[in-house]
Amino acid sequence: MHNRKILCLLLISGFFSASAEAKLYKWVDDRGVTHYGETIPAEYANKDRSELSQTGRVVKKTDVLTPEEHREKEAAEIKHRADLEVERNIKLHDNSLLSTYSNVQEIDLAKARNLQQIDSRGQISNKQLIGAVKTLETLKAKAEVQTKAGKPVPADLKDDIDDAQLTVNKLNKENDAITTERSALEARYDADRARYKLLTGK
C-alpha cells in the first residue's frame, strides 16, 4: 500500500516535471479505480473530477450533477428567486402603506370612498340589466303570440330578441365583474389595515 502511494506521487511528479503548464486531473472510473491524466477520457467527461496542483493537492473539484439533480437545482434556484421577489414586493408595499397613511382611520376612509365608487357603478349596471331583461321579456312575449297564432315569428323580431339576449348576457357579466372587483377591493383594504396595525402597533 505504501509503495502504491509512492508510485502515485512519482506519477504526479512526473506529469508536472514533463510540462510545467500542463494540468493534471484525477477521476474515478465506473469500477471505482482512481486515474490521473492531463486529459479526461470522453466517457468520463460527465463524471466528478478534481484538478491537482504541482504538489498533488486538489485545487479545483468539479461535481457533475445528474439530470435529476440539475432539475432539482434549477427548481430550487427558481423558488429562491421567487421568494426574493416576494420579499421585495412585501417591503415595497409596507413602505407604501407607511408613507400613505397616518392611522387606520385613513385606511377605512379610503376603503369607504372606493367602495362607494364601485357601488355607484353597480347600481347603474343593475338598472341597465333590469331594463334589458324587461325588453327581452317583451320581445319574447311578442314572438310567443305569433307562435300561438300559428304564424311565423318575423325575422326582424328574431334579430331583436337575439340582440336583447346579448345585451342581457353582457350586463350580467359586467355585474359579476363589479361584484368580484368589490370583494377584491374590500379584502385588499382589510389586509392593508391589518398589516398597518402590525407594522405600527396602532
Question: In whole angstroms, what separates CA 67 from the centre of its chain?
Answer: 24
| 108 three-class SS | helix
Q: Are residues 194 and 147 in the same domain?
A: yes
- Report whether 51 contacts 23 (CB < 8 A): yes
- Shared domain for 171 and 191, answered yes or no, is yes
- Is 194 in the same domain as 113? yes
Q: What total number of domains does the chain contain?
A: 3
Note whether 141 and 177 are same-domain residues: yes
Q: Rounded to an integer, what distance in angstroms lies between the CA atom of residue 55 and that of residue 34?
A: 18
Evaluate if residue 16 carries a pLDDT over 50: no
Same domain, 175 and 129: yes
Residues 43 and 16 in one domain: yes
* Same domain, yes or no: 24 and 79: no
Among residues 38, 64, 90, the one where a domain terminates is 64
C-alpha cell at 65: 450533477
Contact status, residue 161 vs residue 136, Cβ threshold 8 Å: yes
What is the per-residue pLDDT across 162-178, written as a single tens digit (0 to 9) for each? 999 999 999 999 999 99
More confident residue, 34 or 92: 92
**169 and 86 together in one domain:** no
Nearest Cα to Cα of residue 116 among 172, 189, 165, 40? 189
**Same-domain check for residues 11 and 78:** no
- For the ranges 23-32, 61-70, 113-122, the lowest mean pLDDT is seen at 61-70
Domain that holds residue 185: 102-200
Nine-digit cell at 183? Answer: 370583494
Identify the CA nearest to 23 among candidates 69, 66, 48, 60: 60
Only one residue has cell 510545467, namely 20
Instruction: Give the rounded percent of residues in the chain with a pLDDT score beyond 70.
Output: 72
Confidence of residue 59 (pLDDT cuts 50, 70, 90): low
Mean pLDDT along residues 19-26: 60
3-state helix, strand, coil in the chain (%, to 5): 70, 10, 20
Q: Mind listing the pLDDT tens digit for each residue in 26-35?
A: 667 777 777 7
Compute the mean pLDDT over every residue in the chain, rounded to the nearest whole number: 84
Distance in angstroms (rounded) separating the CA atoms of residues 15 and 149 = 108
User: In this predicted structure, what is the pLDDT of residue 77?
Assistant: 87
Burial class for 133, CB neighbours closer than 10 Å (0-12, 13-18, 19+): middle
18 pLDDT above the threshold of 50: no
Q: 37 and 113: one domain?
A: no
Same domain assignment for residues 162 and 76: no
Q: Do residues 39 and 114 both lie within one domain?
A: no
